[in-house]
Homo-oligomer: A and B are copies of this chain.
Amino acid sequence: MELKALILAAGEGKRIRVIGDSKPLVTLLGLRLIERAILTAKKSGIKEFCIVVGYNGDKIRDHLLDGKKYGIKIEYIQNDEWTRGNGISVLKAKNLMKERFVLLMADHNYDHKILDRLLETKIGNDECILCVDLHPKSYLNVEDATKVLTVDHRIQTIGKDLTNYNCIDTGIFICNPVFFDALEKSIANGDEGLSGAVKVLAQQNKMRYLPLEDNFWIDVDDETDRKNAERLLYSKLGKDTDGPVSKILNRPLSIRISKLLLKTSITPNQISVLSFIIGMVGASLFFLGEYFYLILGGILVYIHSVVDGCDGEVARFKLRQTKYGGWLDSVLDRYVDAAIILGLTYGYWSINNDSMIWIIGFVALIGCFLNSYTGDKYDSIFRNGNGMKKSKFRMGRDVRLLLITIGALTNLIPIFLIIVAVLANFEALRRLIGFRNKLEIPS
């Protein structure tokens, strides 16, 4: 079932907004808050959005338009009474939400896996579910948060000023139209906030909760929150498959570069091509063979190795990862690998006229390719985990390129090509033989 999402984006957000804009348009790592809300929900498969705007609503409309550029559909609801409680904003959407829907806050950032899980949760037609955080992390402003008290599988009560509570409201809901009835009732009773409706449903035993697992979420209310959110998102950037050189040397540098790139409109695929060009220029210099060019080429290859991490980072920052992006990056990297080894081999041969280097180059190239091939193939075949332990040292492209940079800078091409050849082929064979007993599972 494909659900619509209702996003509340009517408030002013005085504590954080840039004068003249509104809070949903505050920028966080290259994306507006509301763009993050939309693209995160899109990752969970949501394709239709209904956005309630109020304060400076036109600016939000002008920015997001009909959603086509995000690959989704947006309808807008204008709430001119945005100074009143946020329950009023929800109620304005009553006529557009005739079926079960997701309810989100424009200023909340969260791991899309939370919404994935929420969407998988079974729910009755007269129930609503709120995601709650049982163990709020230190960066969350708990004082300012809405507190929740749960009993068994249900929410007992909710409110900003609860003293007896056991978890925090994350602002991620799945609702049935029954939510509007509850809202009308609570507004009639003078409570115009969302919490009012939650209380009404709680009294009817219709308000359930889903506790977060270890996933992150953060509510961006002020500049401190924004900084914390930035730090949080940065910390999620390293990949599980990062090798040692990547972790220690490249990733800290590439994140800095990515921060700068986020201020531009460069796309991840353009970064892949840029990184490819840098690598290819480096490889071309190797063809010249002389030490001076080796040094220049070595530096460029190392820069390539760092920049090569930025496409993925910017894609993740901007919630714009695509399969094609990963594919483009991998194939271009293989051509850079090949050009580097061919360049070093040819350059050395043209200066020293020693044909032995060709055989060394060949075996190094074989090792490089087998190293990538087995790594990628391993990831794709065994992606879904078979209790395999990851090896502590993963010989990968990061290590290979560092060795080549060192070889070029020290003018010791044959030795470093031999090291690459031995290590890379050894790693490929290790992967081939090591997994054998554990993997006689049917395909």
Contact = CB atoms under 8 A, between A and B. Distances in A.
Contacts of A431: 331
A363 B332 CA distance: 15
B324 A441 contact: yes
Contacts of A43: 442
B376 A377 contact: yes
A382 interface: yes
**How many A residues are at the interface, by size bracket?**
35 or more
A372 B366 CA distance: 13
Contacts of A42: 442
Interface in A424-442: 428, 431-432, 435-436, 439-442
> What is the count of identical protomers in the complex?
2
B328 A443 contact: no
A10 to B, nearest CB: 28
Given A322-B442, A432-B328, A359 B377 contact: no
Interface in A39-55: 42-43
A436 to B, nearest CB: 6
Chain B CB within 10 Å, residue with most, of A325, A332, A342, A358: A358
Contacts of A338: 362, 366, 369-370
A376 to B, nearest CB: 6
Interface in A338-381: 338, 342, 345-346, 349, 355, 358-359, 361-363, 365-366, 369-370, 372-374, 376-378, 380-381
B428 A322 contact: no
